[in-house]
Amino acid sequence: MPQSINTHPAHDKVGLYIPENPSPVIAVGGEDRKSFLQGILSQDIVRPEDGSLLFTFFLNPKARILFEAWAAIFPTEILLFPPPGTREDFIAHLKKYLFFRTKATIEDRSGQFRELRLMGPEAVTTLLPVLLPSETPHPVRSIREGGFALLRPPVFQMDAYVGPAVDMFVPVNHFDSIRDTVRGRVLQTGGIELDRQAYETYQTEKGIPEFPSELNENHFPAEVGLDTLGVSYNKGCYVGQEPVTRLKFQGHLNRRLSGFVLDGEPEYAGTVPQPILNPEDGNEAGLLTRYCYSPAMGRTIGIGFLRKAHWEIDPDRELVLADGRRIRVTPLPFV
């Protein structure tokens, strides 16, 4: 049996994860900030009101994913939160489209904040005492001692319910006190603090696609099941818009995000990404991009992509990894 990882309290109550490598915080200001971003990201950044939180993509001209990001709209600026480890590349991508006459500014504020992540059915209620009261149901909330909390939508990939999740961005000088308060409330609630491995297991159990294993330049937003949440089909032109629209209204998907249960003993140590094969003819059926042993499932589970001919769920049908391990397609999320 693999080393014990306990994600049950996070699924049943609340989990806390403190990333060593937090998400970058990039502020875009200036009077042209909305029109500037409107031309390079996939969501509509102009219409939402202050306090809104959007999930969006930055695409290449062929509509493949360069970055995912959360965008929080404030009265005088928009804060962008791309994936951890992408700060320099993300800023360079923004500056590539910041032309001389554009009245917009780009400021890296990553060093001003530390991050806390909460997930599970009681994530929001656990945090309420550390948040300032709000008269509106906006998902961007202020923390009493400074900083802000982003209340992510509970519906994510493929319009599936994955449960509440909150990202807290806390000023460095208040981090220790807020961390201790939040940690105490999580444990008092019956929740758990997750290390990196346990957090990644939780994310896999929820079937959430991640950067860069699933969210990368090999895939369109629709292939990872995030076009409903992360793409506006009613806004004007932006980088990658034509292929995205064509795929939506004229084309069809060749690959789709899928979940897998791996047969055999749980001590699996295969490499990823790894081709998934059709045992009947040996042709490639898809790609396994990540896997883990799931304490909630009691099985080794994985996430990846399948070609259209193979993505239908059939409990009696087996596929096989390139290293010989047999796998079965299963719905997402797992838990």
At residue 264, the pLDDT reads 81
Mean model confidence pLDDT for the chain: 94
Over residues 246-261, the mean pLDDT reads 90
Q: How is residue 280 written in tokens?
A: 């009947």
Domain boundaries, given as residue ranges, for the chain: 8-205, 254-335
Direct distance between the N- and C-terminal alpha carbons of the chain, in angstroms, rounded to an integer: 20
Give the range among 92-101, 181-190, 263-272 with minimum mean pLDDT. 263-272
Query: DSSP secondary-structure letter at 152?
Result: E
Cβ atoms of residues 117 and 166 within 8 Å: yes
Cβ atoms of residues 9 and 118 within 8 Å: no
Q: In this model, does residue 295 exceed pLDDT 70?
A: yes
pLDDT tens digit sequence for 177-200: 999 999 999 999 999 999 999 999
pTM: 0.95
pLDDT tens digit sequence for 35-76: 999 999 999 999 999 999 999 999 999 999 999 999 999 999
- Distance from C-alpha of 149 to C-alpha of 58, rounded to nearest angstrom: 23
Over residues 164-185, the mean pLDDT reads 97
Residue 88: is it exposed, middle or buried by C-beta count within 10 angstroms (0-12/13-18/19+)? exposed
At residue 313, the pLDDT reads 85
At residue 248, the pLDDT reads 87
At residue 268, the pLDDT reads 78
- Span 8-205 CATH architecture: 2-Layer Sandwich (3.30)
Binning pLDDT at 50, 70 and 90, where does residue 3 land?
low
Q: In this model, does residue 153 exceed pLDDT 80?
A: yes
Q: In this model, does residue 2 exceed pLDDT 60?
A: no
CATH of the domain spanning 254-335, picked from 2.40.128.20, 2.40.30.110, 1.10.645.10, 2.60.40.1180: 2.40.30.110
- Distance from C-alpha of 178 to C-alpha of 162, rounded to nearest angstrom: 26
Which residues are within 8 A (CB) of 194 and not within 5 positions of it... i.e. 6 or more apart? 7, 10, 15, 16, 17, 202
Q: In this model, does residue 101 exceed pLDDT 50?
A: yes
Best CA proximity match to 275, nearest among 228, 239, 307: 307
At residue 4, the pLDDT reads 62
